Amino acid sequence: MHVDDAVRKLRIADPAQKLSPLSTAIREQLCEATIASEPAGIEPMKLRPLRARRYRHVIVIAVIALGLGVGAAWAAGVVTPLSVFQHSLQQQDATTGSLWDQHVIPSSVVAAAEVVIPQVGAVRFFYGRSDEGGWCGALRLPSNEWVGTGRDSHDAGGTVPGCFPTREAVNSAGTPVYVINGFDYQEGLVDARPDGGSLWRIRYGFVSLPAAVRVADTVSGRAAPVTKGGLFMLAVPDAHSEAATSFHLVAYDDAGKIVGQD
Amino acid sequence: MLFLEADLNEMQTREGRFSRLHAEHFEAVRRYVWRRDPSLADDVVAETFLIAWRRIDEVPTDARPWLIAVARNARLNARRSRRRQQAVATRLAEEAPSALTAPGDHADIGAALAKLSANDREILLLSAWDGLDRSGIATVLGCSKANVSLRLHRARRRFSDALARQAAGVPVTHSIIHGGATDAR
């Protein structure tokens, strides 16, 4: 047999031809998980020569002098989900061991859910757990900026990304302020109105209701699946942005029965 | 800890580059590992891209050979680890690619590949299945392009001989394959 014929037969016999590619969503999730696993951008900073570091110190002093402030500097540098949680603004000024002194568990950080907002694009909810029993949450815009940091024209505010104590922990620490009903979530606002869209309120967090498979807002009729671990991300357009539209979150089991409400 | 404004672009560039790298080469790396060790594919691919993320500044422009070289090392490490765990007596280095050992339409190809040495098989498959050119293969195997040309030429010839014998039903002994002789016994 001629060598070229043998190699041609070999190419045809490639077993990977029957291997289906992973879906884009799963592959992107793996990519995000890798990026979230550790902040690659930090390590090279440690290796820079002293002169470069000094130069950078001069830059940061200049930045502060220009009045950009600590919050903007924080937001400017924090990119990966893990970094967002590790440098949680929610933790700022919290005394050691206090309720808001939450530390993310790096291996727990996942891309939990995604919602496509018209005129904006895919907004992704990142979730993590903290050593102290709390949780971490952040919404990332298509520009890679984070909702609540004021660095993107579509960011209309809401909860600043970071790590939070659970509602139970807050109640246990002092005067109860939450109704404990199995829901624990935060809210971020995404504004697509400058592009002809709507203002969207995105509630993201988790439900501690084992049977829950779906969360819905009974006012708007919008619903979102509950993913593994009880996580959810529900986006609802708000027609009355000046006075927040009322909403009523309900959790359903797979038979359509209500198993909890907020 | 505060990051500096000047680091923002650097970090975003890294993340963007890694995302593009992942999108462009994920399937090629996955197929590379799956052809050889389906049971290790998920772990090895995850390990490969984690290393790429950690060392994103070192990844060359022509990234695929570099990634496959990392995957190859990760795969061999995983196999060594598994071999220790299972304490198997078989010589894993001489196993045929497991994706080809199952009965199928190309049993003759699988049998011919199994007759090759591990080195011949690897260089042949890097060319025929993974689509790497000589330069890419040299990166994966850590040798010169001239060396790749020579080894690939020999591997192709030995595979062709083994396939011809397979078709003719003539057994080929181990010593003949390694020695490159053409006579069957």
Same domain for B85 and B103: no
Same domain for B104 and B83: no
| Per-residue pLDDT, B3 | 44
Q: Which of B89, B105, B132 is the last residue of a domain?
A: B89
Choice between A42 and B16, residue whose per-residue pLDDT is larger: B16
pLDDT at A94 over 50: yes
Structural domain total, chain A: 1
Q: Which two tokens stand for residue A248?
A: 């009523």
Element (H, E) at A3: helix A3-12
Q: Which residues from chain B sit within 8 angstroms of residue A60, using beta carbons?
A: 2, 4-5
Q: Which of B69, B89, B109 is the last residue of a domain?
A: B89
Q: Which residues from chain B sit within 8 angstroms of residue A31, using beta carbons?
A: 18-19, 22-23, 26, 49
Q: Return the CATH number at B14.
A: 1.10.1740.10
pLDDT at B138 over 50: yes
Instruction: Establish if B23 belongs to a structural domain.
Output: yes
| Per-residue pLDDT, A64 | 43
Name the residue among B20, B76, B82 with its Cα closest to residue B52: B20
Instruction: Establish if B137 belongs to a structural domain.
Output: yes
Structural domain total, chain B: 2
Same domain for B139 and B68: no
Choice between B131 and B184, residue whose per-residue pLDDT is larger: B131
pLDDT at B92 over 50: no
DSSP-based three-state secondary structure for B71: helix
| Per-residue pLDDT, B110 | 84
Instruction: Establish if A256 belongs to a structural domain.
Output: yes
Same domain for B37 and B19: yes
Same domain for B82 and B44: yes
Same domain for B137 and B108: yes
Q: Which long-range contacts (CB under 8 A, 24 or more apart) does A64-70 make?
A: A68/B5, A70/B2
| Per-residue pLDDT, B104 | 55
Task: List, for residues A82-91, the tens digit of each pLDDT value.
Answer: 888 888 877 7
Residues A80-94 as b/e (b if ≥16 CB within 10 A, e otherwise) read bbbbbbbbbbbbeee
Name, in order, each residue with C-beta under 8 angstroms of B156's C-beta and a sequence gap of 6 or more. Answer: A3, A6, A7, B124
pLDDT at B164 over 80: yes
| Per-residue pLDDT, B83 | 66
B35: nearest CB among A7, A15, A39: A15
Mean pLDDT within A67-80: 48
Instruction: Establish if B2 belongs to a structural domain.
Output: no
pLDDT at A180 over 50: yes
Same domain for B110 and B85: no
C-beta atoms of B15 and A41 within 8 A: yes
Domain span at residue B158? Answer: 97-185
ipTM: 0.74
Same domain for B66 and B124: no
Same domain for B80 and B15: yes
Instruction: Establish if A73 belongs to a structural domain.
Output: yes
C-beta atoms of B3 and A7 within 8 A: no
∠ Cα A140 A145 A148 (to 5°): 75
Return the minimum-mean-pLDDT range out of A57-71, A103-117, A138-152, B139-153.
A57-71
Instruction: Establish if B1 belongs to a structural domain.
Output: no
Going by their DSSP bridges, the two strands A110-117 and A223-225 should be labelled as unpaired
pLDDT at B98 over 80: no
Same domain for B74 and B111: no
Average pLDDT value over all residues in chain B: 77
Which residue in A has a C-alpha nearest to residue B26's C-alpha?
Answer: A27
Name, in order, each residue with C-beta under 8 angstroms of A147's C-beta and a sequence gap of 6 or more. Answer: A123, A138, A139, A140, A141, A155, A157, A158, A161, A188, A189, A190, A202
Domain span at residue A244? Answer: 36-261
pLDDT at B178 over 80: no
Q: Which of B89, B107, B131 is the last residue of a domain?
A: B89
Starting at the earlier edge strand, list the strands of the sheet with A214-217: A223-225, A214-217, A249-252, A258-261
Mean pLDDT within A121-144: 92
Residues B124-152 as b/e (b if ≥16 CB within 10 A, e otherwise) read bbbbbbbebebebbbbbbeeeeeebeebb
Instruction: Establish if B11 belongs to a structural domain.
Output: yes
Same domain for B107 and B82: no
Query: What is the signed CA dihedral for A30, A106, B41, B126, rounded to 10 degrees?
Result: 80
A34: nearest CB among B11, B49, B109: B49
Instruction: Establish if A115 belongs to a structural domain.
Output: yes
Task: List, for residues A201-245, the tens digit of each pLDDT value.
Answer: 999 999 999 899 999 998 888 999 998 889 999 999 987 655 556
| Per-residue pLDDT, B168 | 67
Task: List, for residues A36-55, the tens digit of each pLDDT value.
Answer: 776 554 443 333 444 444 44
Instruction: Establish if A22 belongs to a structural domain.
Output: no
Same domain for B175 and B104: yes
Q: Report yes or no: B17 at the A interface, CB cutoff 8 Å.
A: no
Q: Which residues from chain B sit within 8 angstroms of residue A75, using beta carbons?
A: none
Instruction: Establish if A84 belongs to a structural domain.
Output: yes
Instruction: Establish if A203 belongs to a structural domain.
Output: yes
Choice between A74 and A247, residue whose per-residue pLDDT is larger: A247
Instruction: Establish if A125 belongs to a structural domain.
Output: yes
Task: List, for residues A248-261, the tens digit of each pLDDT value.
Answer: 899 999 999 999 98
C-beta atoms of B2 and A77 within 8 A: yes
DSSP-based three-state secondary structure for A95: coil
Largest CA distance in chain A: 85
| Per-residue pLDDT, A70 | 37
Instruction: Establish if A191 belongs to a structural domain.
Output: yes
Choice between B15 and A140, residue whose per-residue pLDDT is larger: A140
Task: List, for residues B31-74, the tens digit of each pLDDT value.
Answer: 999 998 888 888 899 989 988 988 888 899 999 999 999 999 99
Choice between A76 and A140, residue whose per-residue pLDDT is larger: A140
A35: nearest CB among B53, B104, B163: B53
Mean pLDDT within A56-67: 43
Q: Return the CATH number at B128.
A: 1.10.10.10
